[in-house]
Amino acid sequence: MAALPVYRWRLAPEGLATRRQLRALGLRPGGQDVAAQLERTRRRRGPLVAYLYRIDRARPVRPMTPARRAALAAAMAARRTCPVCQQDRGYCIPRSLGMCVPCHDSPASSALAA
C-alpha cells in the first residue's frame, strides 16, 4: 500500500477536493479511494486531517427520490418525538436526556431517576 501524499492546509493542488467541496459542486466521491490528505497543525493536540478526492473521478450526487424524502422525514420525526409524552417537540431530543427537556425537568421524572 502506497503512502498518501500529505499537503499543508490550503496548499493542496488543483483537481483535489474534500467531501464538502465536492458536495458544493454537486458531486460525490463515488467509491474512489482517498487521493491525498491535508493536515493542519494544532498547538496542544494532534493535527486536523481532511481527506482529498479527485474531482475528475467524482460522480454526480444521486437525486432525492420521493421514497428517500419520505424516509428522511420519518427519521427526523422520530428524532423529534419524545418517548415519554409522545409529542413532536420541534427539535431533536437530546440523546443524553433520552426525553424532551420539559419531561426531564418535571418532578415525576426526577422521582423515577431516584
Give tens-digit pLDDT for 2-35. 689 999 998 999 999 999 999 999 999 999 999 9
- Give the tens place of pLDDT for each residue, 50-82: 999 999 999 999 999 999 999 999 999 999 999
Q: What is the pLDDT of residue 107?
A: 78
Q: Bridge-partner residues for 16, per DSSP? A: 54
